[in-house]
Amino acid sequence: MAISAKMKDFVANGSMIRKMFEEGTRLKAIYGADKVFDFSLGNPNVPPPDIFKATLKAVVEADDPDLHSYMPNAGLPATRAAIAARLAAEQKVPVQAKHIVVTCGAAGALNIVFKVLLEPGDEVLVSAPYFVEYGFIADNHGGKLKVAPTKSDFSLDVEALEAAMGPRTKIVLVNTPNNPTGKIYSAGSLEALAAAMKKAGSRYGRTIYLVSDEPYRKLAYDGAFVASPLASCPDSIVVTSYSKELSLPGERIGFAAVNPEADDLDALMGALALANRILGFVNAPSLMQKVIVRLIDQEGRDKGIPACVDVSIYQRKRDLLAAGLKAAGYEFFLPEGAFYLFPKIPIVDDNAFLDLLKAENILVVSGAGFGAPGYFRIAYCVEDKVIQGAMPGFARAMEKAKKLGK
Amino acid sequence: MAISAKMKDFVANGSMIRKMFEEGTRLKAIYGADKVFDFSLGNPNVPPPDIFKATLKAVVEADDPDLHSYMPNAGLPATRAAIAARLAAEQKVPVQAKHIVVTCGAAGALNIVFKVLLEPGDEVLVSAPYFVEYGFIADNHGGKLKVAPTKSDFSLDVEALEAAMGPRTKIVLVNTPNNPTGKIYSAGSLEALAAAMKKAGSRYGRTIYLVSDEPYRKLAYDGAFVASPLASCPDSIVVTSYSKELSLPGERIGFAAVNPEADDLDALMGALALANRILGFVNAPSLMQKVIVRLIDQEGRDKGIPACVDVSIYQRKRDLLAAGLKAAGYEFFLPEGAFYLFPKIPIVDDNAFLDLLKAENILVVSGAGFGAPGYFRIAYCVEDKVIQGAMPGFARAMEKAKKLGK
């Protein structure tokens, strides 16, 4: 056998999602792409903002001799400074350039943070439903995912998280706005979580870090404010990416920001830069780093980044989808951010219901993959006509499910 | 303590190089940048070729709606196909798109290959001198570096490698043209190595993979051909990047190419794509993937990529440096490729000699970091005036060393 036993397992288990892609390709070949309603992937369909495109062209035209050069592993000093200034203004925390590591997206940031913090056997505590990737990333660095429930409306259940903290807890990981539920965690719940972590840390004689994965921060609806643990928890790290707010998922650009009051700060920053190097990222792509700093500087570093995709488009899609699903009898909480909706499966057999949807050429993702069986995820970052076209199928599947009974 | 014990160690040991950077900054502040001769970093100083710059502008101007989108984790199908066609034409091996994973540079490629192949405790066998990063990357994935010597002229010592193969050997790693020696390994030595690996693999009942790290392939002097194990070893994987041949080290774009005859091929390719995802690379940066395919297509996929930095510039720098060092009495082998020269230290105390160079404001890297004490590395990817300006200092350091005696 060539590949490691663990990777062989991962490939076998990971193949469910791949099979769904293959199923989508197969269905599209048979029925035509416009007759298949693919809600499986969180691939932003709103184009990058015009100011991003203009800035990219300007950076490329500028003939900067260092446009593609090596740089410090933590990123270009100017980019780190601009990101820090923006974050400080936005979240009212005195973050400086030295607290930022520019990364290959949020996934790159999570990998370096986990690499640096975890001892073998340490636990990463997360609330279900959670993004499937977290388990793999914890495992990459010798850690284990420990899962606590959320409340019935998918809000943080701080008591459940507190009960799950133990002597091996090193990281508590939150994702807000949440993939797959669209929930935004309240400032109050994050403060309560920080207090519970501090108590547990004292009990077990170790620092527990709150890591907040926030790539959907700018995709918040109805003017909702996305609270961040940076403000309430000294031992906190924000990881994020520009993939969603600028619709750049293929470019792999994001950052990790460490709270200026974090324990063992200098060692932590040095180790994050080293991890960025030795895990093979080396540095986040230099051209995109130059674009980000120029985007931020266009409005002033204290004003936040001016560029963002048009969130009202996603909000309209959410409303369109929610109205249709509600009329068809689905139960769900209205997403407050991100571009996922996470309805209940109306019968006990999840796969039987997903098969009913597939028979309507509707592709979604089972909640089981997010640690939440009994639900399914609809990624509505798709064209309106896909949402509209799928509605009769969603309704028919519900009718058939009702006939099957509970 | 916040960070893991291992990372704390790594940061402490990694700090030697960081201290050298700091030393460089300090010296430049005191004496002026033009009075400090910094040969420490392998940062290409030849600009990217004009055709690259033009292609980048064309790709950005084309307003491709999918320019920054998600894609399969192994890369854009068109980019994989173009890279495969180029490699097949160049190395006479029938590599196809499905054998390619586009990666975040060679460091990203090495990380996914090691992640996929290594069981905990498996060994990666390498010849010294070797690139310092290899030890970290093996450790990232539970592996251990095992080091065999090269011959006295830095060519492959296949007998020594064969003697070092054991029941835990999973990977033999070669780097040609070599960093830090500039040696190109001969086709004959790679064939002998492949045969030795096959014998050891049969003895221990496992497949041993030959991984060839080739980012300096296009930087070969005097028309030298760089042989590749792809042609002689079925269980072989090439990892490389465009960092050096296109002078793009900040952009993180490269690939892994698996031999079409490799053992367990389909599982291997699936696992490499999954590793690219879960290690947080997700995919190599999309804009650069689009540039690479367009560059290759400009001359035709069977002709190889037309674009490369002007290698004659590096060759001239090599000759300039070699002539000066020879006149000053240094012993070394003339580099056949890459942009490093690796002279002998003329006295027994390495650090004492490096201090003599530092007293001349000359910054180089100790060979000990490459598993080769008694030598030092000069990265000559610098302006000619740095080489010329350093020559009197190199000569004086040699005179002083001679007075110190052996």
* Model pLDDT for residues A41-88, shown as the tens digit of each residue: 888 889 999 999 999 999 999 989 999 998 899 999 999 999 999 999
- DSSP strand pairing (B254-258 vs B236-241): antiparallel
Token couple for A71: 């740089």
pLDDT attached to residue A251: 96
Whether the pLDDT of residue A15 is over 60: the answer is no
Cβ-Cβ pairs closer than 8 A, A with B, add up to 210
Comparing alpha-carbon positions, the chain A residue that sits nearest to B109 is: A280
CATH 3.40.640.10 in chain A is located at 50-303
Whether the pLDDT of residue A235 is over 80: the answer is yes
**A142 vs A13: CA distance, rounded Å:** 19
**A358 vs A14: CA distance, rounded Å:** 20
3-state secondary structure of B25: helix
Task: Give how far A2 is from chain B: nearest CA, Å.
Answer: 6
- Model pTM score: 0.96
Whether the pLDDT of residue B292 is over 60: the answer is yes
Comparing alpha-carbon positions, the chain B residue that sits nearest to A235 is: B2
- DSSP strand pairing (A169-175 vs A123-128): parallel
Give A304's pLDDT tier (boundaries 50, 70, 90): low
pLDDT attached to residue A70: 86
pLDDT attached to residue A23: 80
pLDDT attached to residue B45: 87
Quickly tell me which residue has 């607290």 as its tokens.
A99
Comparing alpha-carbon positions, the chain B residue that sits nearest to A209 is: B2
Q: Which CATH class is domain B12-41+310-404?
A: alpha beta
Query: What percent of chain A clears pLDDT 70, i.e. is strictly above it?
Result: 97
CB contact under 8 A, B280 and A109: yes
Whether the pLDDT of residue B244 is over 90: the answer is yes
Whether the pLDDT of residue A305 is over 60: the answer is no
Comparing alpha-carbon positions, the chain A residue that sits nearest to B119 is: A4
Whether the pLDDT of residue B305 is over 60: the answer is no
Average pLDDT over residues A199-224: 96
- CA distances from residue B156 to A69, B170, B191, B192, B365 in whole angstroms, order as listed: 32, 19, 11, 10, 22
A361-375, B126-140, B287-301: segment of lowest average pLDDT: B287-301
Whether the pLDDT of residue B234 is over 70: the answer is yes
Q: Under the phi-then-psi rule, with left for phi > 0, alpha for psi from -120 to 50, and beta for the rest, what region is B264?
A: left
Comparing alpha-carbon positions, the chain A residue that sits nearest to B106 is: A280
Token couple for B129: 């001198």
Task: Sort out which chain B residues have CB atoms less than 8 A from A14's CB and list them.
Answer: 274
Best of B1, B6, B7 to disrupt the A interface (most A CBs within 10 Å) is B7
Chain-centroid distance of CA B182 in Å reads 10
Peptide bond into A77 cis (omega under 30): no
Write the single-letter amino acid at B331. Answer: E
Whether the pLDDT of residue B18 is over 90: the answer is no
Average pLDDT over residues B244-255: 95
Quickly tell me which residue has 């310092």 as its tokens.
B132
Whether the pLDDT of residue B351 is over 70: the answer is yes
Token couple for B391: 């020559």
Task: Give how far A288 is from chain B: nearest CA, Å.
Answer: 9
Using CB atoms, pick whichever of B4, B252, B280 lies closest to residue A119: B4
The CATH topology of domain B50-303 is Aspartate Aminotransferase; domain 2 (3.40.640)
Whether the pLDDT of residue A18 is over 70: the answer is no
Task: Sort out which chain B residues have CB atoms less than 8 A from A69's CB and list them.
Answer: 43, 249-250
Q: B205 or A23: which carries more pLDDT confidence?
A: B205
The sheet with strand A365-366 has its strands ordered as: A340-341, A376-379, A365-366
Whether the pLDDT of residue B21 is over 80: the answer is no
pLDDT attached to residue A404: 85
CB contact under 8 A, B267 and A2: yes
How many other CB atoms sit within 10 Å of the CB of residue B29? 10
Task: Sort out which chain B residues have CB atoms less than 8 A from A133's CB and list them.
Answer: 277-278
CB contact under 8 A, A60 and B63: no
CATH 3.90.1150.10 in chain A is located at 5-48+309-404
Query: What percent of chain B clears pLDDT 70, i.e. is strictly above it?
Result: 97
CB contact under 8 A, B107 and A280: yes
Q: Mean pLDDT across chain A, nearest whole number?
A: 93
Whether the pLDDT of residue A302 is over 80: the answer is no
Residues 6+ apart with CB under 8 A from A312: none
Residues 6+ apart with CB under 8 A from A105: A215, A241, A243, A249, A252, A253, A254, B280, B282
Q: Which CATH class is domain A5-48+309-404?
A: alpha beta
A46-50, A141-145, B94-98, B313-317: segment of lowest average pLDDT: A46-50
Element of type H or E holding B297: helix B286-299
Give B306's pLDDT tier (boundaries 50, 70, 90): low
Q: Mean pLDDT across chain B, nearest whole number?
A: 94
- CA distances from residue B4 to A203, A209, B10, B142 in whole angstroms, order as listed: 20, 13, 10, 15
pLDDT attached to residue A299: 72
Query: What percent of chain A clears pLDDT 90, i.e. is strictly above it?
Result: 83
A5-19, A246-260, B43-57, B216-230: segment of lowest average pLDDT: A5-19
pLDDT attached to residue A22: 75
Task: Sort out which chain B residues have CB atoms less than 8 A from A208's CB and list them.
Answer: none
Whether the pLDDT of residue B16 is over 80: the answer is no
Task: Give how far A313 is from chain B: nearest CA, Å.
Answer: 17
Whether the pLDDT of residue B20 is over 90: the answer is no
Token couple for B2: 């916040």
Average pLDDT over residues A3-23: 79
